[in-house]
Structure 1
Amino acid sequence: MSDEGFRIVSAHDTLFADVEAVFGTRGDPAHCWCQWYKIPGSEWRLTDDELRDRLAEQVAEPATNAGLVAYDGQTPVGWCAIEPRSHLPRLRTKRIVRDGSRRPDLDDPGVWALTCFVVPREHRRRGVAAALAAGAVEHARANGARIVEGYAIDPAVRAKVPAADLFVGTVSMFAGAGFVEVARPTPARAVMEIVLAE
C-alpha cells in the first residue's frame, strides 16, 4: 500500500526492529506499546519490556492484524493500531465507545477499530498519520472488516491539545480517509466510522 509518498506495510510483514524504531525508548509509546486497549486496567502492571514483548508476539501472529508501519523510503516513520474491535477488551469500558458507537455488539469480528497512531517527532506534520489512516482502511477491507471505527479528537474544539493526546487521531484526518462522524460523546471526542460492506 502507498499513500502520500509513504509505503504502508502490515507489521507482520516487516522487521519488529522497525516497529521498535518508531516507538522509541522515551515518551508514552515506549511505555504502552499499543497495549492500553488490550489489557484490562486491573492487569496494567507489566513492565515496558513485557509490553514490548506482547506487541512483538501480536505482530508475529498474522491472525491478529495488530497494526501497520509507514515507511519513507527505507526509514520507518509511523505506526497505527488497526484490528478487530473484539480484540480490545478495554474499549468495552470506554464512554466514547459505549455512548457513541452505532455498533453495540463488541464481539462482532467484522467491526474493526483504528485506535492508535505513533509518529516520531522528527516525522510529524508530513502526513504520516493520514497515510496510515488511509492504509488502515485498505488493510481492514482486505482482511474482512465490514466497518472501521475511530475515536478521534477534535483540536478545533479543544484548544492546545498536547501531542500526547493526539495518539487517537484527529477528526479531520479520519475524514480525509473517508470516515464520517457518527457521534460526539464529548465536545472534543468524536466516533468516526467508515462502512466497507453491509
Structure 2
Amino acid sequence: MTVETRPATDFDDVRALVGPKRPDANVCWCLSYRIPSKLNNELQGPARGDYVAKLLEEGPLGVLAYDGDEPVGWAAVAPRADTTFSRNRKIPHVDDLPVWSLWCIRVRPGHRGKGITHALIAGAVDYARERGAPAVEAYPLDNQGAKVDQTMAYAGLRKNFEAAGFTHAADTTSRLSGFPRVVMRLDLR
C-alpha cells in the first residue's frame, strides 16, 4: 500500500474520518481542542459538521492520508495559539516559541497496523514546516507499551512520535484513558 498525505480540504473526506455515522450524532469532529470550550459545548448534532465545513472554507484543518483516492487517516495540526492548548493548564508551555500543535491522529478500522500513523505524523510535520512553524508539539499518551483503548488513542503514542524524531520536552498533569500525557517536540529550525 502506498500512502500519500495531503492537506485536509475536502469536507467529505474529513467527514469520513472524524464525522459521525449518523448526521444527528454528537461526535467530536476534532473540534474539542480547536475551538473554545463554550462553543464546543453549544454545537450539537449537524451544527458540528456545519462548523467544520465553514472552517474548511478558510483553509485546511490538518492532513489526510490516502490509499489511492480513499481517505484512510487524519491528523489535526495548527498553530498552538489557534487552539485551546494555548491556555490549557494541564499541558505546559515549554517556552514562548510559536509552535504548532499536533493533537489528533485517527486511522480508519481495517487500515491500522500499516504505517499510516507514521505517514500522518510526517505529513503533519511537513504541512507545519511549509507554513513556517519553528517546531511542532504533540501531547501523546506515555503508555509504556500497555494496550490503549482505540477510542482514546487519538492523542497518539509517545513511541510513534519518538520514531518520528520528536523528543520529550515536558511532563504534563493531563491523563487520558488512565495514562499520562507528555509534551513531545520536534524542532524545525
TM-score normalised by L of structure 1: 0.82
RMSD: 2.3
Q: What SS does the corresponding residue of 2:154 show, helix, strand or coil?
A: helix
Q: What SS does the corresponding residue of 1:121 show, helix, strand or coil?
A: coil
The one-letter code sitting in structure 1 at the alignment partner of 2:12 is A
4+ long deviations beyond 3 Å: none
Matched, 1:195 2:182: no
Q: How does 1:7-26 map to 2 (within 5 A)?
A: 7-12=4-9, 15-26=10-21
Residues 34-76 of structure 1 show CA distances to partners (whole Å, capped at 9, x for unaligned) of 11012333331211321222222222213xx421110011111
Residues 138-175 of structure 1 show CA distances to partners (whole Å, capped at 9, x for unaligned) of 11110010011000102216x43211111011111111
Q: What SS does the corresponding residue of 1:174 show, helix, strand or coil?
A: helix
Structure 1 counterpart of 2:101, from 93, 101, 113 = 113
Unaligned runs of 5+ in 1: none
Residues 68-101 of structure 1 show CA distances to partners (whole Å, capped at 9, x for unaligned) of 11001111101110110111135512402x2xx3
Matched, 1:162 2:149: yes
Matched, 1:54 2:41: no
Residues 110-159 of structure 1 show CA distances to partners (whole Å, capped at 9, x for unaligned) of 310001112122211211111100111111110010011000102216x4
Cα separation, 2, equivalents of 1:48 and 1:90: 24
Q: How does 1:6-45 map to 2 (within 5 A)?
A: 6-12=3-9, 15-26=10-21, 31-43=27-39, 44-45=41-42
The answer (yes or no) to whether the contact 1:80–1:117 under 8 Å persists in 2 is: yes
Number of the residue aligned with 2:82: 87
Bigger proportion of residues as helix: 1
Aligned length: 181
Q: What SS does the corresponding residue of 1:57 show, helix, strand or coil?
A: helix
- 1:26 Cα deviation from its structure 2 partner: 4.3
The answer (yes or no) to whether the contact 2:26–2:44 under 8 Å persists in 1 is: no
Q: Kindly tell me: are residues 33 and 24 of structure 1, through their superposed partners in 2, closer, same or farther at Cα, counting changes over 3 Å?
A: closer
Q: What SS does the corresponding residue of 2:140 show, helix, strand or coil?
A: strand
Matched, 1:5 2:2: yes
Q: Kindly tell me: are residues 37 and 91 of structure 1, through their superposed partners in 2, closer, same or farther at Cα, counting changes over 3 Å?
A: farther
Matched, 1:176 2:171: no
The answer (yes or no) to whether the contact 1:130–1:177 under 8 Å persists in 2 is: yes
Q: How does 1:120-131 map to 2 (within 5 A)?
A: 120-131=108-119
